[in-house]
Structure 1
C-alpha cells in the first residue's frame, strides 16, 4: 500500500516547556532554525535545550501498528544487493587491516557489533532525503545510489508505541535495544530525514522482499530544461581563465562552464522545499570537464525524484521482487 508522498507537507511542532502544539510549513522551520521564530505559546527560541521540535502527526497512518506491514517502505543505498542474506562485514578487511584492528579476536567482536545493528527503512521522502544528505556529507556525489521499495512480512510483530530517534551520533541503532525478544519492528520519529515522519528499525528477518532501481532514473526525454541547460553550457568555455598573482599559487579558478553549471543546479534547487535545497545543490554540482548532457540529465533525474515521484514508483513496479 502506497502512502501519499508530499515533500512540501506541513509539520507538527511540540514545545517541551509549555506543551503547546501547532502546525507549520517548512519555511517556518527554516526561520525557526535561524532563531527568527519563537514558540507561539511561551516565546522560546531554538537555542534552549527543551525548545520545540518537530513531532509526529497524529494522522500518520503508520501509527496504527496493525497497518505497518501493509505499507511500502523505502531505503536508499550504494549497495546493489541490500540487504545481503549472509552479511559479512569482515570480507573487505585485508590482513593488514585485521592486524591493525588487534587480531582475529578483535575482528570477531567487531563483526558481531556490526551484525547487531538494526536496518533502517522509512518513507519515500526519507529515503530521497537520506541519499541527498549522504551526497553532501559523505562525498558520495559520484556514487551510484539505489532506491529500494521494501515489503515487510505480514506476520511481523510491531513494538507498541514509537520512540524518539534512537540512533547514536553516527546513525547506528542496536537492534536488541529497540526490538526486545518477540518484537520484529520498532517505529521511531525521524528527526534527520523527512523530519516528523515515522521510520522503522528492524532486522533482516522482518523483510519479505525488495524491489530495486538505480537512481536517478536515466532521463531520456527531450525535456525543455535539459535541452536549454545543455545549449547554455555548450555555449560557454570549459577552460578556466589563467590565474594571476597570489591566486595562481593557491587554486585554479573555475571555468565559465563550471560556474554556469552550478548556477543552473542552484536554480533547480530553489524550486524545491527549503530543507532539501542545500543537499540538492551539493548533489547537482557541475564538475570541471563534465559532459554537459550527462550532467543535465542526471541533475534533472535528481530533481524528478522529488518533483515527480510517480515515474519513480512506476519504475519500481516494473521490477521483479527479490525475496530476502
Structure 2
C-alpha cells in the first residue's frame, strides 16, 4: 500500500511547555529555527529546552498496527545488497586494523554490537531526504545510491505506540533497546528526515523482501532544463581564475563554468521545499572538471526524485522482489 507523497505537506507542532498543538508549513518551521516565530500558546522561542517540536499527525496510517505490514516502506543506501543476509561487519578489516582494535575478542565484540543495530525504514520522503543529507554531510556526494522499497513480514509484531527518535548522534539504534523480546518493529517520530513522519526500527527478520533501483534514474532525464544547462556550461570557460579580494589567497581558484554550475544547481534547489534546499544544492554542486552533460542529467534526475516521485515508484514496480 502506497501513501501519498508530499514533501511540502504541513507539519504538526507540539509545545513541550503549554501542550499547544497547531499546524504549520515548512516556511514557518524555517523561520522558527531562526528565532523569528514563537509558540502561539505561550510565546516560547526555539531556544527553550522544552520548545515546540514537530509531532506525529494523528491521521498517519502508520499509527494503525494492522496497516504496518501492508504499507510500503523505503530506505536509501550505498550498499547494493541491503540488507545483507549474512552481515559480517568485520569481513573487510585488515590484520593491522584488527590488531589496532585489540585483537580477535574485541573485534568479535565490536562486530556483535554492529549486528545488534536496528535497520531503519520510513516514508519515501524520508529515504530521499536521508540520501541528500548523506551526500552533504558524509562525503557521499559522488557515491552510487540505491532506493529500496521494503515489504515487511505479514506476521510482524509492532511495539505499542511510538517513540521519540531513539537514535544517537549518528542515528544508531540498538535493536534490543527498542524491540524487546516478542516485538519485531518499533515506530518512532523522525525529527531529521521527513520531520514529523513515522519511521521504523526493526531487525532483518522483519523484512520479507525488497525491490531496488539505482538512483538517480539516469536514463529518465533529457529535458529542456538539461539541454539549456549543458549549452550554457559548454559556453563557459573551464579555465581556473584566482580568487580576488582580501581573502583571495585563502580561496581555491575557480572557473566560470564551475561558478555557473553552482548557480544553476542553487536555482533548481530554490524550487524545492525549504527544508531540502541546502541539502539539494550541496548534492548538486558542480565540481571543477565535471562533464556538463553528466552533471546536468544527474542533477535533473535528483530533482525529479522529489518533484516527480511516481517515476521512481514506477521503476520500482518493474523490479523483481528480492527475498531477504
TM-score by length of 2: 0.98
Whole-Å separation in 2 of the counterparts to 1:90 and 1:48: 43
Alignment of 1:223-242 (within 5 A): 223-242=223-242
Render the CA deviation track for 1:57-111: whole Å, top value 9, x for unaligned.
0010110011000000000000000000000000010000000000011001101
SS in 2 for 1:92: coil
Does the C-alpha gap of structure 1 residues 243 and 120 become closer, same or farther in structure 2, counting only changes over 3 Å? closer
Alignment of 1:1-324 (within 5 A): 1-242=1-242, 250-324=250-324
Aligned-pair distance for 1:52?
0.3
- Number of residue pairs aligned between Structure 1 and Structure 2: 324
Q: Stretches of 4+ moved more than 3 A in 1?
A: 219-222, 242-252
Render the CA deviation track for 1:165-221: whole Å, top value 9, x for unaligned.
001111110001100111000000000000000000000000000000000001444
SS in 2 for 1:148: strand
Whole-Å separation in 1 of the counterparts to 2:289 and 2:248: 20
Render the CA deviation track for 1:118-139: whole Å, top value 9, x for unaligned.
0000000000000000010001
SS in 2 for 1:182: coil
Whole-Å separation in 1 of the counterparts to 2:293 and 2:35: 41
**Larger CA deviation: 193-202 vs 217-226:** 217-226
Does the C-alpha gap of structure 1 residues 18 and 226 become closer, same or farther in structure 2, counting only changes over 3 Å? same
Whole-Å separation in 2 of the counterparts to 1:305 and 1:21: 31
Aligned-pair distance for 1:53?
0.3
Whole-Å separation in 2 of the counterparts to 1:57 and 1:248: 49
Aligned-pair distance for 1:253?
1.7
CA contact (8 A) 1:240 1:252 kept: no
CA contact (8 A) 1:219 1:300 kept: no
CA contact (8 A) 1:219 1:298 kept: no
Q: Give the root-mean-square deviation of aligned CA atoms.
A: 1.3
Does the C-alpha gap of structure 1 residues 50 and 319 become closer, same or farther in structure 2, counting only changes over 3 Å? same
Unaligned runs of 5+ in 2: none
Render the CA deviation track for 1:18-67: whole Å, top value 9, x for unaligned.
11000000000000000000000000000000000000000101100110
Aligned-pair distance for 1:241?
2.1
Unaligned runs of 5+ in 1: none
Render the CA deviation track for 1:259-291: whole Å, top value 9, x for unaligned.
000000000000000000000000000010110
TM-score by length of 1: 0.98
Aligned-pair distance for 1:240?
1.1
Whole-Å separation in 1 of the counterparts to 2:289 and 2:4: 40
Whole-Å separation in 2 of the counterparts to 1:314 and 1:223: 19
CA contact (8 A) 2:221 2:301 kept: no
Whole-Å separation in 2 of the counterparts to 1:292 and 1:210: 34
SS in 2 for 1:240: coil
Does the C-alpha gap of structure 1 residues 123 and 221 become closer, same or farther in structure 2, counting only changes over 3 Å? closer
Whole-Å separation in 2 of the counterparts to 1:245 and 1:9: 43
**Larger CA deviation: 26-35 vs 166-175:** 166-175
